[in-house]
Structures are given as C-alpha cells and as structure tokens.
Amino acid sequence: MKKNKKWVYTLQGLLIASIVLIVAINYVVDPYQIYRTPTAAGFNHMKLSTQAYLWKARFIAENKPDVIFLGSSRTGRGLDPEYYARITGDEAFNSGLSSANIYVGLRYLEYAILNNKSLKTVYIGLDFEGFNKYSESDMLDEKRLETSSFTKNDRLATLFTKQTLRDSIRVLRMNLLKMPPDIDALLPDGSYSDVGQIIRNQRLLEQGNNQFYEHLNDYLNTVYSQYELSQQHVEDFRKIVSLCSENNIDLYVYIQPSHALQWEGIQTSGLWDEFEEWKREIVAITEVWDFSGFNSVTTSPPDQFDTYLDQSHYRKQIGNYVFNRTLHINEDSVPEDFGVLLTKDNLEAQLKRIRDERDKWERDNPDIVKKIEALKAKSP
C-alpha cells in the first residue's frame, strides 16, 4: 500500500513539475509576444503571428499607443512604425491583422479608444476585399475586446498548451538561426519581418512557382468568385470616421497600393464596376488617398521581390512612400504618379484616369493578361 501511494505521489509530482516547466518555458520565450517578458536578439526577439489578434489587443490595452495603423496583412507588412517615428517623432504601433475586414478595423479602433483616451492618430488601409458581404474573420474574438484584462481562455491557451510549447521551440529555433523560417515572424512594433517570405518566394520562383500568380489565383478562386459590396461594411467605415472625429483623432485613410496584377484580377473577374462603386461609397464619407491603379510603383516586374512580396502585399519601402505622400514629408522621394487624394470633386476624373492607365497596361503586357485570364478560366 505504501509503495502504491509513493508511486502515485511521484507521478503527481512529475505531472506538476511538467506543467510548471511548460508554463515557465512558454512564459519566458513568450512566442506570441503577449506577456511582455524581456526579449534578446538570438533568443526570442522575433515572434510568431499565429496569435496576432490576441497579442495586438494586449499591446493596445497595456501600452496605450498614441498612434496606430489599422488594416489587413497589407498594412501589417507594408507600414513601418520605425520609419514613421523617424519622420514624425511619434511612436506608433502596427495593428494590421491578417484577413481583417473593415469591421475588424472598427472593433480594434473602439478597443484602442477604450484603453487610451489620448489616442491621437490613426492610419487605416482600405481593401476592396474587406468590404465584401461574404468576408469573415474567424480570428476575431469579440469578448476579448470587451475588457482591458486578459480573459481566462487566453491565459490557458498561451501558457498551458502543447501547441504553445511547440511554438516556443519554433521561436527559439528561428532566432538562433538569425533568420525567420516562419514567413509571418512578428516584430515588437507590430509589423512583420519579410526576410523569411522573400527567401521562400525566391526559392519557389526558382522551382517554377511564381507567388504573384499563385497568390492571385487564391483571390480569383475565393474572394472574387463571390463578391457583393456590403452596405453594413460601408456603415462600419462610416463609424470609424465618426469615432475619430468625435475623439479628435487625426485619421488618414488610404487605399492599399497592391500590385497591378491585383487590380487586373478584379478586372478579369468582372468586378471593375463594383470596384469603382466601392470608391464612390467611401469617398462620399471622407476624402481618401488612393494608391491603387497602374502607376510606376504598382507595375513593377511580377517576378522580383524588391518592392512587393506578391501581387497583394507591398514592402515597407512602398509604405514609406505612403507616409511621405500623406504627411507631405520627403515628397521628392515619391514617384510623381503615386498617390492621389480622392475627393467628391475629382473622383470621376481619377476613376477614368485609372481606367485609361489599365487599358494601356493591358496593351503593353498581353502575356501577363493572358496568364491572369488562364487562372480565371480554371476557377470555379
């Protein structure tokens, strides 16, 4: 009997010790960057983005940034808080989230205002796809955004699970290797490291898989195959503008500068009229900086990753152009044809200009147009 009790106590002790060890490792490594444990280069400086919705909410609640960037992963990858601080003197946090539609942007803005009454500046990148009636973000947790405190489920999921332990090991590995094998490694300012993705995309290109086309194919097969402009999402955007006005927040609204292939994908999908109507709807609410279209930036060769990661995501060099143009700082460095402030007075003229530029680009690039049409032909 005594031996049985001793065995049970030993087993219980080992179990408790294992749990304590797992919690300690997950807390110290902090793979999702939510516990604000110290970071060190070569150890845990770069983090994973698998819990970005949680981490960015926790950062907003605890650090109360006065400047935030909102939007999808395009914002997350393309806008650089470090550069913004250098040209303005203001610290900023990138709250861009993967697959975020405009409602997600609204909820995180409300959360930022709830936690920081001195929030003074917001940049929000708009996506045509983010106003789709059928767009959903499965990663949004409404309860999480109702309190400034950690929820019980979030603590359990990020300290006690085997998945978190596996992610802690991944973080240690990618930091020790001094480059992120994970393509979505997060930086402490909320933006993403693109080193891993460039390496991956270049390797795939050498194998015959061009991510400019492969990634566009995903849009043609999913988002653009079922699109309807949502009036509810238009109202969500209206609420964002109203909230910023009511709280004396400087709001900068811009249409994301995706690559020309993205815009041609919209045309090939038969959604160009809907795309223009979307612009009319948002400009009726507020002035918007438009970086879309077929300009000298967006028409770069679709097999080079110096300015774009794929047809959807622009790199921080282009995001710096967005800041320079909208803030009227270092504008001499920005290509002349990149960025136009859309107003009710000039909107129709700008829509026609982009149509004309699209037609010219199509005439100059028939092989690219055929590739996109072939992708569309394969979609359901």
Residue 144 DSSP symbol: G
Q: Which amino acid is at 78?
A: G
Q: What is the pLDDT of residue 377?
A: 76
| 123, two tokens | 């940049």
> pTM for the whole thing?
0.91
Cα radius of gyration rounded to whole Å, the chain: 23
pLDDT confidence of 183, banded at 50, 70, 90?
low
Where is 369: in which H helix or E strand? helix 366-378
Q: At 214, is the pLDDT very low, low, confident or very high (cuts 50, 70, 90)?
A: very high
Local structure of residue 203 (DSSP, 8 states): H
Mean pLDDT of 53-70: 95
292 or 162, higher pLDDT:
292
pLDDT at position 46 is 79
Please name the residue that has the structure tokens 């020790």. Answer: 176
Q: Characterize the bridge pairing of strands 288-290 and 340-342.
A: antiparallel
Give the residue-averaged pLDDT of 319-341: 97
Percentage of residues of the chain with pLDDT beyond 90: 71
Residue 272: pLDDT over 80: yes
Q: Is the pLDDT of residue 208 over 80?
A: yes
Residue 182 pLDDT: 56
Whether 5 has a pLDDT exceeding 70, the answer reads: no
267 residue type, one letter: Q
| DSSP 8-state class, residue 132 | B
Tell me what percent of the residues of the chain surpass a pLDDT of 70: 95
More confident call, 53 vs 8: 53
Instruction: Look up the CATH architecture of domain 64-152+190-378.
Output: 3-Layer(aba) Sandwich (3.40)
Could you give the CA distance from residue 50 to residue 248 in angstroms, rounded to a whole number?
33
- Rounded CA-CA distance 92/190 in Å is 9
179 has pLDDT over 70: no
pLDDT of residue 63: 94
Phi and psi dihedrals of 132, rounded to 5?
-70, 135
For every residue of 225-291, DSSP letters joined together read TS--B-HHHHHHHHHHHHHHHHTT-EEEEEE----HHHHHHHHHTT-HHHHHHHHHHHHTTS-EEE-
